[in-house]
C-alpha cells in the first residue's frame, strides 16, 4: 500500500513517517487498540505513524469537531505500538488540530480503568476536567469515563501558540 508520507526527525532510533490520506486504515488500527471504541461516521480524520518499511505503528483519530464562533474543539483517540512516536511526530499530531483546524482546545476521553491512556494524556499536557459515572463499557462492564482537555495556549508541542508566523521580506 503506497501511503502518502513525510519523514519526521528521528530522536534516536529509526526514522518514522507521518502518513495521511488513509484515514480508514489508520482509524481501524487505532480503534482495534482501544477496547469498546468505534468511529460511527465519516466526520473524522486520522493520521498515522509508519516505520521505514511502511508498517503502520500507531495513529491518531480526530473526531467530533465542533466549530463555534470562539471555541473550536476536536476529540482525539490515540493508540500505537511501543516506540511509535518521536518529537517530530508528536508536534505534527498537535499541529493538525491547533494549526490546520484552528482548534482552541482538544478533548480526550479515557475509561477510568485504562491507566496507560490516562497517563499518556497527562504526560502530553492534558488536564483532567471531569468524570462521567458508568458512561462507557470496559471489557464488557460499566466504567467511568474521564475527560481531559488541552487548550492551545498550554500546548508545549506547538510553536508560537499555534499561530502562523510569516517572516518579513
pLDDT in tens, 23-69: 999 999 998 988 777 787 778 999 999 988 889 999 999 999 988 88
How far CA 81 is from CA of 33, 56, 63, 105, 154, in Å, comes to 9, 9, 21, 26, 27
The DSSP call for residue 161 is G
| Contact between 165 and 158 (Cβ < 8 Å) | no
Give the pLDDT confidence of 66-115 residue by residue, as tens digits. Answer: 888 888 999 999 999 988 988 888 999 999 999 999 999 999 999 999 89
Instruction: Examine the pLDDT at 6 and tell me if it is beyond 50.
Output: no
Domains of the chain (ranges, CATH numbers): 4-162 (3.40.630.30)
User: What pLDDT is stored for residue 57 in this prediction?
Assistant: 94
Residue, of 166 and 50, whose pLDDT is higher: 50
pLDDT value for 167: 42
CA-to-CA distance for 109 and 114, rounded, in angstroms? 10
Give the pLDDT score at 15.
Answer: 66
Question: Which tops the pLDDT comparison, 140 or 130?
Answer: 130
pLDDT at 53: 87
Burial (Cβ within 10 Å: 0-12, 13-18, ≥19) of residue 164: exposed
* pTM of the predicted model as reported, rounded to 2 decimal places: 0.82
C-alpha cell at 69: 464562533
pLDDT at residue 20 tops 50: yes
Rounded distance, CA 30 to CA 118, Å? 16
All three cell numbers of 35: 477496547
Amino acid at each position: 500500500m503506497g501511503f502518502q508520507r513525510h519523514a519526521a526527525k528521528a530522536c534516536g532510533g529509526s526514522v518514522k513517517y507521518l502518513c495521511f490520506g488513509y484515514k480508514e486504515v489508520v482509524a481501524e488500527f487505532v480503534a482495534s487498540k482501544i477496547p469498546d471504541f468505534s468511529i460511527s461516521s465519516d466526520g473524522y480524520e486520522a493520521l498515522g505513524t509508519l516505520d521505514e518499511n511502511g508498517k503502520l505503528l500507531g495513529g491518531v483519530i480526530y473526531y467530533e469537531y465542533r466549530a463555534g464562533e470562539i471555541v473550536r474543539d476536536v476529540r482525539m483517540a490515540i493508540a500505537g505500538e511501543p516506540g511509535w512516536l518521536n518529537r517530530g511526530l508528536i508536534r505534527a499530531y498537535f499541529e493538525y488540530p491547533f494549526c490546520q483546524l484552528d482548534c482552541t482546545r482538544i478533548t480526550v476521553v479515557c475509561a477510568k480503568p485504562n491507566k496507560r491512556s490516562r497517563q499518556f494524556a497527562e504526560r502530553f499536557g492534558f488536564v483532567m476536567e471531569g468524570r462521567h459515572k458508568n458512561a462507557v463499557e470496559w471489557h464488557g462492564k460499566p466504567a467511568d469515563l474521564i475527560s481531559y482537555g488541552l487548550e492551545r495556549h498550554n500546548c508545549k508541542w506547538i510553536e508560537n501558540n499555534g499561530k502562523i508566523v510569516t517572516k518579513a521580506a
